[in-house]
Chains A and B, each alone.
Chain A
Amino acid sequence: MWEYTAAAVVVVAAVVLFELRVLRTGLLGTRAYWIALAICYVFMIAVNGWLTKLTAPVVLYDADATTGWRFPWDIPVEDYLFGFALLTLAMLLWDAAAPRQREVADAKVTNVTVSSSPREPARGAPS
């Protein structure tokens, strides 16, 4: 019962912990992240709304695996946690792979990166 709900909560918690304990990109504290997430959710409602609409569902959910709460239209609320984890994990890894301006720049990148990625904002700072 509520297995999807439980799995979604666990995965969201795992992604957040992974950031706080391991990656420490600082992404979750930035305005850009929350604005981007809000925009993504608007589009997610459209895409997910289509996939889950009960009139002609592409994806069908087992009633026992979820809370049964669906909003808006027929989107299972669990999908918002799923989407959060999917988007946030990719964004965290993306930032974790960002060239580090502060440490690396001084050492050797001074005359190399200029053409490839101008003005990469420094990340990873625990702002």
Chain B
Amino acid sequence: MATVDRYQYLLLMAGCLLVTLPLEFVFGARVWRRPRRLLFALVPTVILFAVWDIAAIARGHWSFDPRYVTGRQLPGNLPVEELTFFIVIPICGLLTLEAVRRILERAR
């Protein structure tokens, strides 16, 4: 159980991607299918939030329970889970935005 626990954060992120996947293929969000535009949205966002995160970790604003993370870290003591968060959550947001747009268009 302890080993599974260390993947809690990563599994939660995987769950987010899985749950939002129908937005792309059922609601026609077309986010995954526009990879260049997606990258344009993600890269600056990920950089800004990674910098913020590294600073916040260095200042001790927050920390991570070693029981629930893999322990793999990027430069700046940034857990890989955090980087995953900054990629996954915006993707979920974009899928939601585009799905809402498709629904509003259809309702018109």
A32/B101 contact (C-beta < 8 A), A3-B59, A43-B92 known: yes
**Alpha-carbon distance between A29 and B94 when the two chains are bound, in angstroms:** 17
Shortest CB–CB separation between residue A67 and chain B, in angstroms?
12
B13's nearest neighbour on chain A, judged by CB, is: A47
**Interface size, A (range):** 35 or more
Q: Which of A50, A58, A86 contacts B45 (CB 8 A)?
A: A86
Q: Does B44 contact A (CB under 8 A)?
A: yes
Does A39 make an interface contact (CB < 8 A)? Answer: yes
CB interface residues, A 71-127, toward B, < 8 Å:
83, 86-87, 89-91, 93-94, 96-98, 117, 119, 121
Question: Which parts of B1-60 form the interface with A (CB within 8 Å)?
Answer: 8-9, 12, 16, 19, 30, 34, 36-38, 40-42, 44-45, 48-49, 52, 56, 59-60
Q: How far is the CB of B22 from chain A (nearest CB, A)?
A: 14
Choice from B16, B30, B45 contacting A89 with Cβ under 8 Å: B45
Do B101 and A3 have beta carbons less than 8 Å apart? no
Decide: A97 and B59 in contact? CB cutoff 8 A: no
The answer to whether B64 and A90 touch across the interface, beta carbons within 8 angstroms, is no
User: Main secondary structure on chain A at its contact with chain B?
Assistant: helix
Q: Which of B61-86 contact A (CB under 8 A)?
A: 61-65, 68-69, 86
Task: Tell me whether A57 and B105 are in contact (CB under 8 A).
Answer: no
Q: Which 5 A-B pairs have the closest CB atoms?
A: A90-B90, A94-B41, A87-B93, A65-B61, A93-B41
A-B contact pairs, 19 of them (CB 8 A): A11-B48, A32-B97, A40-B96, A43-B19, A58-B9, A58-B64, A60-B62, A65-B61, A87-B89, A89-B48, A89-B90, A90-B41, A90-B42, A94-B40, A94-B41, A94-B97, A97-B41, A117-B30, A121-B105
